[in-house]
Chain A
């Protein structure tokens, strides 16, 4: 059973080998039928807003009590909100609102608004939780309003109005950023934004007030609250305008890095040719580009037929990369924010709800181009540890060695004593020797750098 699917009693997710299943329990039976009968599912699938599924036999249920079993298409790789750039999180938020809006049209509603229910598939956000809808009159308030604000609005507002690194707070707060915390961290001028004033600042205050309410008397029914249908849609419209109105202007030297490197034209051409030959030699399906920047070599891998995850620690580079992917540059690429020196940990209940960077599905090959000097010199990671991490990540690796005489490495050493005696081409070879076999070693023309194709031993 998927360790992230225990919260909702209406169903559960599990895997058998490579096949993903979702079992619908008695508790979710009526809503499941209403969802299919309303035609909502068919419309959402046609517009690629929800993952499609095939019906499976009830015999394939994992636990007793199943009323139906389905095989949803697997989305690969799974990523998490703390790995998304601003626009990825915003696109996921807008999809969530669109789904709720369409659900209202058919007498249904989204019963939750978890950012973890959205994944990225071929350059677009998509809902993966097929059991997210329930039948409800539009005159009931939206129970997921609070979750939407905590999972989406608060982090987006913090990134837009405070700092992009606030997105990483989602690692600590896996059920969304508490609104009173967001309200305290946001600049006072955000109170002049009507949407943020209402959905964030007043919302935080309303939560604080209700926390002081006395507990309900035993057996008393919860208060019945009603909204008009127009009010329901107005609230949704206001959330949409607020989210769509948030802007983040990245300011980073990395996103201009590709155009300001030390490469000559001949060296760039030579590097591109060798990387492509190595990608073709591996002939795998999945590649991870580590330190992808804005994705020059990710595009090359996609062109060579790979599905690529393009990791970079710089949110601005990932943002620029995502915007190009979303605009149709290459749907085979998923840019994500990740810092190799402190990658996403396992999180949540029993540390099993969200898997760590190392526990995602293994790629066939990793690209580590112009990266090792940042790890070895910028982060003081010994080369044999770099080799061992690369070996854990994938069976094959395309790695660029940037020696000390290269201007980029000289820059890293400019203000510090050189304590990196072993950082030489020979040192690189012997560090990788224990974990990898050198399949090919190719010096880049007109450059002191060398490319390696390495296979895990």
Chain B
């Protein structure tokens, strides 16, 4: 389903975003695994350090 935004998202911006999201996902994923592990070790896994809101990475497709 193509989406239509009321602001111009810019075709170059959209393409770059797809590439960056792909490249950034890998280090981001591992950082989160490490951070979650650290919090689990310290018994405070309710408070993930990132701003992303604690969504479980395993739901990713």
Contact = CB atoms under 8 A, between A and B. Distances in A.
Contacts of B6: 7-10, 111-112
A4 interface: no
Report, as a range, how many residues of chain A touch the other chain.
35 or more
Contacts of B53: 101-102, 104-105
A71 to B, nearest CB: 24
Nearest to B58: A230
A242 to B, nearest CB: 11
A335 B15 CA distance: 39
Contact of A229 (B9, B17, B60): B60
Contact of B25 (A9, A104, A234): A234
B24 to A, nearest CB: 4
B46 interface: no
A228 interface: yes
Nearest to B31: A237
Interface in B1-57: 1-3, 5-18, 20-22, 24-25, 27-29, 50-53, 55, 57
Contacts, number: 128
Contacts of B27: 234
A226 B20 contact: no
A233 B52 contact: yes
A232 B16 contact: no
Interface string A119-162: 00000000000000000100111111111010000000000000
Interface residues of B, number: 34
Contacts of A237: 24, 28, 50-52
A203 B52 contact: no
A278 B20 CA distance: 58
| Residue in B10, B55, B57 with the greatest tally of chain A CB atoms within 10 Å | B10
A224 B2 contact: yes
A8 B12 CA distance: 23
A203 B12 CA distance: 7
B48 to A, nearest CB: 11
Contacts of A143: 3, 5, 7, 9, 14
A225 B14 contact: yes
Contacts of B1: 224
Nearest to B2: A222
B28 A221 contact: no
A92 B37 CA distance: 32
A189 interface: no
A211 interface: yes
Given A105-B53, A147-B7, A206-B12, A230 B28 contact: yes
5 contacts: A146-B10, A210-B15, A228-B25, A228-B60, A237-B50
Given A141-B14, A198-B20, 20 more contacts: A7-B6, A7-B7, A9-B6, A101-B51, A111-B6, A141-B9, A144-B5, A145-B17, A146-B9, A146-B10, A203-B16, A207-B12, A210-B10, A225-B15, A225-B17, A227-B18, A228-B21, A229-B61, A231-B21, A231-B24
Interface of A: 7-10, 97-98, 101-102, 104-105, 111-112, 136, 139-147, 149, 198-199, 202-203, 206-211, 213, 221-238, 240
